[in-house]
Amino acid sequence: MPNPLNRLYSRSVAFSHDLLMIPLAWLGAYWLRFNLEQIPPFYLETALWSLLLVVPVQAVFSWHFGLYRGVWRFASLPDLVRITKATVSGLLVAVLLVFLVFRAEGLPRSVPLLYGILLMVLLSGPRLFYRWLKDHRLGFRSGRRVLVVGAGAPGEALVRDMLRDSRKGYLPVAFLDDNRRKWGKEIHGVRVAGGTRGLCATVDELGIELIMLAMPAADAAEVRRVVELAESSGVPFQTVPQLDDLMSGQVSISQLRRVHIEDLLGREPVSLDWPEIRAGLTGRVILVTGAGGSIGSELCKQVARLEPATLILFEHSEFNLYRIDMELQEQFPGLSVHLFLGDVCDAAAVDRVFGAHRPQIVFHTAAYKHVPLLESQLREAVNNNVLGTKRVADAADRHGCGEFVLISTDKAVNPANVMGATKRIAEIYCQNLDARSRTRYITVRFGNVLGSAGSVVPLFRRQIKAGGPVTVTHPEMERFFMTVREACQLIMQAGVIGVGGEVFVLDMGEPVRIAYLAEQMIRLSGKTPGEDIRIEYTGLRPGEKLYEELFHEREKLMATGHDKILLARHCEMGWDLVGQMMKELHAACDDYDGERLNKGLKRFLPRRETAGPDGESRGEVVPLRTH
């Protein structure tokens, strides 16, 4: 905390300075009036006696208008406004008093105007000079030589922060910006040296030791391009957070961080219809299953911002439920939250949740999702992903829930693994239940979420931290990625635009090669792929495909009112047949009969194929129709 004695000392020095400036300005005005020559004795005597009135009056107004609340180090336009107000007010009162006392004898008419001008210069000049000296003492300070990429408001704020405190150890040397109109200009005395294409040459010419990327609004393609240039320069680099992560809206040195893989793989910010989302979720009783998982926990936080009447968290992991509850209590202390520790496979627990709180909207995120692991856990995958979904969906119907949103996956498209097959069956059940229920059943399908539990990004981070190798199954393997925040926002958007029975497919952009992902993460850690950390190709694991798809061959996608959400045609099956096959799966799970479970999956997905050694599979093809 600031030392009160130091603040008192600073104010005393500033006040003493201003007291000295008042007589200098007053006598200086007389001197100018007489053409910089000797002031006649009569006028000099009046000027000196007048100071007995001018000095205290001006001092009172200076204090009144807060000239000593600011710090000279950060003198700016508000300080100049305060100085102007204090000078004009003090001048008017002081001249009036002088007129009343001395009858204006010995006070030339030009002196008040000259005095006002001189006083403003003498009060503001030293303040601005002091700030300029602090901000531009490049020749007197040392620190890491910094190149700032981006000469907009974030870059300006970074340089201002560096110049403000030399103890931070940074010396801003130059800007780079692709806006040609800024080239050659200076910001806080730091020159815009050119565009980003000359980054490597600028680093060499100016002896740059650190690159700061100040482009929070740039899209991922632009960030990738600049990061590649920074990597080739061989100089360490950092970035300011993306706009969504700048909670205060301000940029400072303390917010700088290493570039994350999410910065390179993200896409243009999603434009959402927030009024529509708020109208659909605010004031509602909302249930989130799997509330402690990667998607579930972020979805809870997104929903909490929209002020639901009640948020119900259903989670089978005690620790995950505790963690999300603590986060919600810290961020949303006024939120009504109810916790249920339970399993979607437990019909009594599910019915208890619905009966106790009558949720109006359900986001069903609970699922097993680890592809290779589930290949050997068929019974648990079916029980959780299929029958668990059925239990929650049926409870929503029985208790009059308004809307049920199933979170699905791209692996449900032409499924070549147990995980994808179980999620596809869950989709089929919800789509067909919609036509027989007052509840609206909506499916939202998307690909991999960056950084989610069990995903490849945390795995690569651990392997890089351990020194490698980084294991990639196949050099050509590709996956779709999006951030957890974007996924949850689009889930909410799809939930409010759906009327029931839809399969919404989130636009995942272009797929990303996993090998590229590994290489970039190694580079971002400051290492060189193949030299410092080796990439090892291990071959496809059970159930894996080289390429994932977002919709079936016959699911002709249709546009919706949102450019990031598409609508897929859905599968209709006879309801009696669906019910019979579900009973068979339930009986097979109860008996732990793997052979019957496999037959049950084939009845739902008659042309499902497992992925071969090359990772290719045509997978499931079923009759489709527009709903």
pLDDT tens column, 451-495: 666 567 778 888 888 888 889 888 888 776 777 787 888 888 888
What is the band of 119 on the pLDDT scale with cuts at 50, 70, 90? confident
544 pLDDT more than 70: no
- pLDDT, residue 556, reads 60
128 pLDDT more than 80: no
What is the band of 6 on the pLDDT scale with cuts at 50, 70, 90? very low
590 pLDDT more than 90: yes
The arithmetic mean of pLDDT across residues 174-196, rounded, is 88
Fold match between domain 138-259 and domain 279-447+482-511+541-604: yes
Find the range with the poorest average confidence among 73-77, 198-202, 596-600, 618-622.
618-622
Q: Provide the residue ranges of all domains of the chain, joining segments of one domain with +.
A: 4-135, 138-259, 279-447+482-511+541-604
Question: Tens digits of per-residue pLDDT, 10-45?
Answer: 667 777 888 888 888 888 888 888 888 888 888 788
Mean pLDDT score across all residues of the chain = 81
Q: Which residue has the higher pLDDT, 328 or 104?
A: 328
Output the six-digit token pair for 134: 């602090």
220 pLDDT more than 90: no
Output the six-digit token pair for 124: 């503001």
Find the range with the poorest average confidence among 78-92, 334-348, 500-514, 582-596.
500-514
Q: Which residue has the higher pLDDT, 613 or 609?
A: 609
The arithmetic mean of pLDDT across residues 290-312, rounded, is 93
Q: What is the DSSP string of 411-432?
A: GGSS--SHHHHHHHHHHHHHHH
- pLDDT, residue 613, reads 43
520 pLDDT more than 90: no
What is the band of 176 on the pLDDT scale with cuts at 50, 70, 90? very high
Strands (DSSP E) contained in 144-195 are: 144-149, 170-176, 186-187, 190-192
Q: Percent of the chain beyond pLDDT 70? A: 80
Output the six-digit token pair for 137: 């003492």
The arithmetic mean of pLDDT across residues 153-169, rounded, is 80
Question: Tens digits of per-residue pLDDT, 50-71?
Answer: 888 888 888 888 888 777 655 4
| Residue 512: strand pairing partners | 479
- Separation of alpha carbons 391 and 380, rounded Å: 15
To which residue do tokens 């408001």 refer? 153
CATH superfamily of domain region 279-447+482-511+541-604: NAD(P)-binding Rossmann-like Domain (3.40.50.720)
What is the band of 522 on the pLDDT scale with cuts at 50, 70, 90? confident
Question: Tens digits of per-residue pLDDT, 327-382?
Answer: 999 999 999 999 999 999 999 999 999 999 999 999 999 999 888 899 999 999 99
- Measured CA to CA in angstroms, residue 383 lies from 246, 369, 377, 583, 597 at distances of 42, 13, 10, 12, 10
What is the band of 5 on the pLDDT scale with cuts at 50, 70, 90? very low
What is the band of 177 on the pLDDT scale with cuts at 50, 70, 90? very high
**138-259, CATH topology level:** Rossmann fold (3.40.50)
- Whether 548 and 408 have beta carbons less than 8 Å apart is answered as no
- Whether 566 and 558 have beta carbons less than 8 Å apart is answered as yes
142 pLDDT more than 70: no
153 pLDDT more than 60: yes
- Whether 232 and 203 have beta carbons less than 8 Å apart is answered as no
